[in-house]
Amino acid sequence: MLIFDHSHPGRTAAAQLPAASGSLDDLPAALKRKDAPALPEVSELDVVRHYTRLSQLNFSIDTQFYPLGSCTMKYNPRACNSLAMLPQFLARHPASPDETGQGFLASMFELQEMLKDVTGMAGVSMAPMAGAHGEFAGVAMIRAYHDARGDTARREIIVPDAAHGTNPATATMCGYTVKEIPTDATGSVDLAALKAAVGPHTAGLMLTNPSTLGVFEKTIADIQKIVHDAGGLLYYDGANLNAILGKVRPGDMGFDVIHMNLHKTFSTPHGGGGPGAGPVGVSTRLLPFMPIPLVLNENGFYRLATEADLPQSIGRMSANMGNAGVLMRAYIYARLLGGEGMHRVAEYATLNANYLMAKLREAGFDLAYPSRRASHEFIVTLKKLKDATGVSAMDFAKRLLDYGYHAPTTYFPMLVPECLLIEPTETESRETLDGFVAAMKAIKHEAETTPDLVKGAPYSLPVRRLDDVKAARELDLAYKPAA
Amino acid sequence: MPFIPHTEEDVSAMLGAIGAASIETLFDEIPPALKTGKLKDVPDGLPEMAVARLMQERASADGFWSNFIGAGVYEHHIPAAIWQITTRGEFYTAYTPYQAEASQGTLQLIYEYQTMMTRLTGLDVSNASLYDGASALAEAVLMAVRSHKTSRRVLVPKTVHPIYRRVVNTTVRNQGIELVELDYDAATGQTVLPADPGSFAGLVIPQPNFFGVLEDVHAMADWSHDKGALAIALVNPTTLAVLEAPGKWGGQNNQIVGADIAVGEGQPLGAPMASGGPYFGFMCCRQDFVRQMPGRVVGRTVDLDGKPGFTLTLQAREQHIRRSKATSNICTNQGLVVTAATQYMALLGPQGLAKVASNSHAGTVALAEKLTAIPGVTRAFANPFFHEVVLKLNDNAKDVLRALRAQGILGGLDISGWYPELGQAILVCVTETKTAADLDHYAQHLERILSKRREAPPCAYKS
């Protein structure tokens, strides 16, 4: 039932309406609306009950284990939400003078400094509002750097074939062409191919490390040298930062620019698809190009930097200061964890991943890269199972939902057939992981004995498998009541 | 280890299963020379009680203000139910709804949101939201250029928020797109359409514009369509309760009725101002352009048993499928804020939203009358405004605003730097949250401050 089905003409949530109406008589009639917009006409209880009920149709971290590779679905501490929503913080207009927001700005400045330390970069800007937005800022800075040097022949961005789709899409948005390089049999960047790919047209390389294949690029020092020797810059996609938090710093690996996904590593909520936050960190040579605003500390007075402070900045990315409330949640999380807590994040995320990998291997599952350590995630390939039983990774994922587990990431990275990318995170207990292994074993047994059962899953959710083809062909993107 | 549940026994059992001697062994593929020592700028962790105390102190230091700043972000009442429901774990901690069967709550909510937005804007389709109003405008500009066969120029009036124009520039400048500024009329504050614009792909039409002034949107939409370009509406969702929907703009001189794309800032629909976010950008368009639209879209379909359900659709436009040929690199929406906005629209309904809009308008009119009765305060533009007004001061705007601040009043935004031709000018906003007493309080203090400064001008003025 849609909210529109609850609607009755004339019904209102009366407590929410201003007491009186103001006159609009001074406005030109031609610019005024003739018919009121057909928004729902419902009571407050209708709204509360309808959306509470909708919430109950969702899987979430608070209700289920979410081993979703590359997404770092760890526990989102409640304090981060309640403290970021203190009424004075919520009431502050973003264009208020800096004097009225020293508490807020101090928190932002300290987060900025902590992110510099954690990543080993010379500067951090928290303007970007999501990972892909941070990628855009990063590649735009690479372009601004080359252009400022008159090095305008560099118009090519190199990405490994296993990269997130945002990497090539971002390069295109910055006016670059994309060159893909292959991955070798152990899941590492193919160094010979990289050497052959770089040259005077190379603007930079975008790399995720640990990679999307869940393994650490052991030859990062060589990769760094090849790209820098060719005059290119090195971009770090921070999607997998949780794997190395407090263990290795992208700055120490030689990266020039990095984005972080605070909704992963710093545990801000995913919110059913956002808002995220994608701060960028830069090496010294990119400092002048950082997006604004950043927070400056001038003898204990905090203020937002503007165009006047960074005349070479790539500019602004949002009307205000990015997703400020998300940044507040990340700051509170960082204060709860502290330095020691951050070191342990990567340790326990990696422990959980390697434990889960060992248990699944023991249960007869094939690993994509069996000779490698898992980072904070790893890949299982169901190719043999699919060949033998017809049960695909998608079927397997859907059946896991019936067992009460959110599915791992499926069909990404695309170069591993029938893959499940599994990331348990550090906040899950051994018992939860063991429960997941038991479900995986049970479904494997079902696939081998009653494959149609698995192919028809899920059965216990609000809907069964949906017709995506119909959804795309007979577009129904907004409710229209039958005439 | 605040959120790590492992006991010592767990760790040793797990290492045993892995066959590793220690946790450190698990990092043996990382070259030792790269390993980090202690983080030096991250302080020691604190228990929740101590962090709570710290944050409460900081919040108290920031305090509460009597706010008359708008400029794209508006202080509206937010019903208590909204964020209590929005921060339920099932919404707050859910992932992007890629596994549709496990995400019907979020998906249905977005479908309802999309429906409400099409009804507000009068256009056919809506996406699931973009980052914010400024970035939504940038995406609309890119969309207009993709849809136009030949031109890569887009006309952007100076009456569009100056920071929005900068964000658009940051976003599009590396793609060979030219942004052409259009002047405004000094008397009316409305955009002046140039006699000879040359070829262009789109015209941005702000309603109300940055000055709060109402533009002649019908003439602008028709003019843009006459020239073979798209009409891009930049609108405030609150005002759409009472102002003509972009889907009905123009149509006086030709066949095309309505703007082609409508974008804007969703913050007024239930998002707290919160120093800048998170908010969301909305985008609606005509059916013809749906495949050029960036961002997530939810569609209604059926499941294996024929039961209705919801799923992300048109993913063939998106980066995870199209990679370097995607319509945008965006791979998120502002889901949680859209969750709040959907409830806001449902709670307010057509009557409530219209009351919020008309109260805000009437309050701004009332305040403008009170303030312009003070010597030295005049309106910059003669034409009707919605819930913001530009006032010229015969005194230094920055100093006057600072003096108001000492009384707990944020009296508006100094826009003299952005529009030097206006002299000392402030942009003032009133919403339904302000009472008559609030307006009187502001007017009394402004009058006192201005007269005091006239009688005893600051030193710099004496020379």
Q: Predicted confidence band at A290 (pLDDT cuts at 50, 70, 90)? A: very high
Of A135, A166, A272, the CB nearest to B339: A272
**B100–A466 CB contact, under 8 Å:** yes
Do residues A246 and A351 share a domain?
no
Angle between helices B335-372 and B436-455 (to 10 degrees): 50
End position of a domain, from candidates A319, A337, A355? A337
Do residues A236 and A372 share a domain?
no
Of the candidates A309, A369, A320, A273, which has an alpha carbon nearest to the alpha carbon of residue A128? A320
Cβ neighbors of B428 (< 8 A, separation 6 or more) are B68, B70, B364, B367, B368, B371, B388, B389, B390, B391, B411, B412
Q: What is the reported pLDDT for A144?
A: 97
Mean pLDDT, residues B106-132 taken together: 98
Of A21, A46, A83, the CB nearest to B55: A83
Of the candidates A338, A179, A206, which has an alpha carbon nearest to the alpha carbon of residue B45? A338
Q: What is the reported pLDDT for A164?
A: 87
- Min Cα distance A448 → chain B (Å) is 23
Q: Does residue B407 sit within a domain?
A: yes
Do residues B387 and B426 share a domain?
yes
Q: Does residue B281 sit within a domain?
A: yes
End position of a domain, from candidates A305, A337, A369? A337
Do residues A373 and A244 share a domain?
no
Q: How many CA atoms lie within 13 A of A477 on its CB side?
A: 26
**B120–A37 CB contact, under 8 Å:** yes
Domain residues for the domain of B106 are 80-342
Count of domains in chain B?
2
Residue A283 in contact with residue A257, Cβ under 8 Å? yes
Residues of chain A contacting residue B163, judged by C-beta atoms under 8 Å apart? 316, 319
Q: Is the pTM of this model over 0.95?
A: yes
Q: What is the reported pLDDT for B461?
A: 52
Q: Does residue B53 sit within a domain?
A: no
Q: What is the reported pLDDT for B147?
A: 93
**A32–B46 CB contact, under 8 Å:** no
Amino acid at B31: P
**B23–A351 CB contact, under 8 Å:** yes
Of B31, B109, B307, the CB nearest to A463: B307
Question: Touching check for A475 and chain B: CB below 8 Å?
Answer: yes
**A220–B34 CB contact, under 8 Å:** yes
- Min Cα distance A449 → chain B (Å) is 23
Q: Does residue B22 sit within a domain?
A: no
Residue B463 has pLDDT above 50, yes or no: no
**B214–A31 CB contact, under 8 Å:** yes
Phi/psi at A38 (5° precision): -80, 65
End position of a domain, from candidates B342, B360, B389? B342
Do residues B306 and B408 share a domain?
no
Do residues A420 and A442 share a domain?
yes
Do residues A141 and A90 share a domain?
yes
Q: Does residue B110 sit within a domain?
A: yes
Instruction: Determine the Cα–Cα distance for residues A266 and A245; give it in Å rounded to an integer.
Output: 10
Cβ neighbors of A273 (< 8 A, separation 6 or more) are B95, B96, B97, B106, B128, B296, B332, B333, B335
Do residues B315 and B357 share a domain?
no
Do residues A137 and A211 share a domain?
yes
Neighbours of A28 (CB within 10 A): 10
Do residues A84 and A158 share a domain?
yes
Q: What is the reported pLDDT for B462?
A: 45
Residue B31 in contact with residue A55, Cβ under 8 Å? no
Residue B457 has pLDDT above 80, yes or no: no
**B101–A458 CB contact, under 8 Å:** yes
Q: How many CA atoms lie within 13 A of B439 on its CB side?
A: 21
Residue B459 has pLDDT above 70, yes or no: no
Do residues B178 and B274 share a domain?
yes
Do residues A144 and A259 share a domain?
yes
**Least trusted range by pLDDT, from A65-69, A356-360, B330-334:** B330-334
Count of domains in chain A?
2
Q: What is the reported pLDDT for B1?
A: 59
Residue labelled with tokens 């229209």: A480
Using a pLDDT cut of 90, give the percent of chain B over it. 90
Q: Predicted confidence band at A410 (pLDDT cuts at 50, 70, 90)? A: very high
Do residues B222 and B312 share a domain?
yes
* Segment A103-106 long-range contacts (CB within 8 Å, at least 24 positions apart): A103/B57, A103/B58, A103/B59, A103/B60, A103/B61, A103/B62, A104/A324, A104/A328, A104/B58, A104/B62, A104/B275, A105/A295, A105/A302, A105/A303, A105/A304, A106/A302, A106/B58
We report the CATH number of the domain holding residue A127 as 3.40.640.10
Do residues A254 and A193 share a domain?
yes
Do residues B266 and B409 share a domain?
no
Do residues B334 and B397 share a domain?
no
Q: Does residue A434 sit within a domain?
A: yes
Residue A83 has pLDDT above 50, yes or no: yes
Instruction: Determine the Cα–Cα distance for residues B372 and B366; give it in Å rounded to an integer.
Output: 10
Of A32, A88, A332, the CB nearest to B243: A32
**Least trusted range by pLDDT, from A24-28, A207-211, A225-229, A312-316:** A207-211
Mean pLDDT, chain A, rounded, equals: 96
B338 bridge partner residues: none
Q: Does residue B233 sit within a domain?
A: yes
Do residues A332 and A352 share a domain?
no
Residue B460 has pLDDT above 70, yes or no: no
Do residues A428 and A451 share a domain?
yes
Do residues B337 and B357 share a domain?
no
- Min Cα distance B306 → chain A (Å) is 9
Q: What is the reported pLDDT for A85?
A: 98
Q: Does residue B359 sit within a domain?
A: yes
Q: Does residue A104 sit within a domain?
A: yes
The pLDDT tens digits of the residues spanning B354-390 come to: 999 999 999 999 999 999 999 999 999 999 999 999 9
Of A3, A31, A55, the CB nearest to B243: A31
Q: Which helix (H) or strand (E) holds A230?
A: none
Interface A-B: count of C-beta contacts within 8 A: 680
We report the CATH number of the domain holding residue B184 as 3.40.640.10
Using a pLDDT cut of 70, give the percent of chain A over it. 100
Cβ neighbors of B41 (< 8 A, separation 6 or more) are A113, A114, A116, A117
Residue labelled with tokens 């009680």: B49
We report the CATH number of the domain holding residue B418 as 3.90.1150.10
Residue labelled with tokens 């370009």: B229
- Min Cα distance B232 → chain A (Å) is 17
Residue A386 in contact with residue A393, Cβ under 8 Å? yes
Instruction: Determine the Cα–Cα distance for residues B115 and A480; give it in Å rounded to an integer.
Output: 8
**Residue A361 has what DSSP assignment?**
H
Can you read off the two tokens belonging to residue A48? Answer: 């509360």
Q: Does residue A48 sit within a domain?
A: no
End position of a domain, from candidates B307, B342, B377? B342
Residues 306-365 of A with CB under 8 A from B: 314-326, 332, 334-345, 347-348, 350-352, 354-355, 358-359, 362
Domain residues for the domain of A444 are 345-468
The pLDDT tens digits of the residues spanning B25-53 come to: 999 999 999 998 888 999 999 999 999 99
Q: Does residue B107 sit within a domain?
A: yes
Q: Is B348 helix (H, G, I), strand (E, B) or coil?
A: helix
Neighbours of B353 (CB within 10 A): 27
Sign of CA dihedral A80, B237, B293, A482: positive
The pLDDT tens digits of the residues spanning B145-195 come to: 999 989 999 999 999 999 999 999 999 999 999 999 999 999 999 999 999
Residue A399 has pLDDT above 50, yes or no: yes
**B125–A21 CB contact, under 8 Å:** no
**More reliable by pLDDT, A30 or B457:** A30
Question: Touching check for A262 and chain B: CB below 8 Å?
Answer: no
Respond yes or no on whether the N-terminal peptide bond of residue A458 is cis (omega within 30° of 0): yes
Do residues B191 and B247 share a domain?
yes
Residue A2: closest C-alpha in chain B: B112
Instruction: Determine the Cα–Cα distance for residues A294 and A284; give it in Å rounded to an integer.
Output: 16
Q: Does residue A53 sit within a domain?
A: no
Residues of chain A contacting residue B42, judged by C-beta atoms under 8 Å apart? 114, 117-118, 334, 338-339, 342
Q: Does residue A355 sit within a domain?
A: yes
Do residues B255 and B191 share a domain?
yes
The pLDDT tens digits of the residues spanning A337-351 come to: 999 999 999 999 999
Question: Touching check for A52 and chain B: CB below 8 Å?
Answer: yes
Do residues B302 and B170 share a domain?
yes
Of B105, B111, B132, the CB nearest to A129: B132
Q: Does residue A261 sit within a domain?
A: yes
Do residues B380 and B274 share a domain?
no
End position of a domain, from candidates A297, A318, A337? A337
- Work out the end-to-end distance of chain B between its first and last CA atoms, rounded to an integer number of angstroms: 64
